[in-house]
Copies of this chain bind each other. A is one copy, B any other.
Amino acid sequence: MEEPDTEQAGLIDALAQTAFILTSALNRIAADNDLSITQLRLLGTLRGRSPQMKQLAGHLGLEKSTLSGLIDRAQRRGFVQRRPSESDKRVIEVALTADGESTARRIEADVRVAVEPIIRQLDPADRDALRVLLERMLGPAPS
């Protein structure tokens, strides 16, 4: 009972594998829908919101110039639209188009379909226990 590092290595590995599998699933879903991971994040972020360019860049952790290009490409593909703000003429608001909205909905369903068979490996009690442990670990976590 004196091998904390060895024990932790097992947990770190399990967490890493979990992250890897979920990220792989996201990558596959993006590819299946002919989107990049970044465009996928963009669509998810815009659901129910119409942020300004600057807010959106901050939310996605990107430079404003990077976001300009991203929105250019998303707009060219018909997923989003730019709307000039009326109160401040410098500001542009970004919103999903109907097409972008339905694509975002489809992505969300795909994610659910991908994740469900994984969590079904656990019975309901275990699923609940896992949720509680993860929430406890993430909860008061370091910033």
Contact = CB atoms under 8 A, between A and B. Distances in A.
A18 B134 contact: yes
B8 A116 contact: yes
A38 to B, nearest CB: 13
A18 B15 contact: yes
Interface in A110-131: 111-112, 115-119, 121-122, 124, 126-131
The DSSP consensus for interface residues of chain A is: helix
A138 interface: yes
Interface size class of A (residues with CB under 8 A): 35 or more
Given A7-B128, A124-B7, A134 B14 contact: yes
Contacts of A8: 116, 119, 127
B130 A118 contact: no
A115 B15 contact: yes
A137 B117 contact: no
Interface stretch (A19-27, A51-59, A89-97): A19-27
A8 B64 CA distance: 36
A112 to B, nearest CB: 7
A12 to B, nearest CB: 5
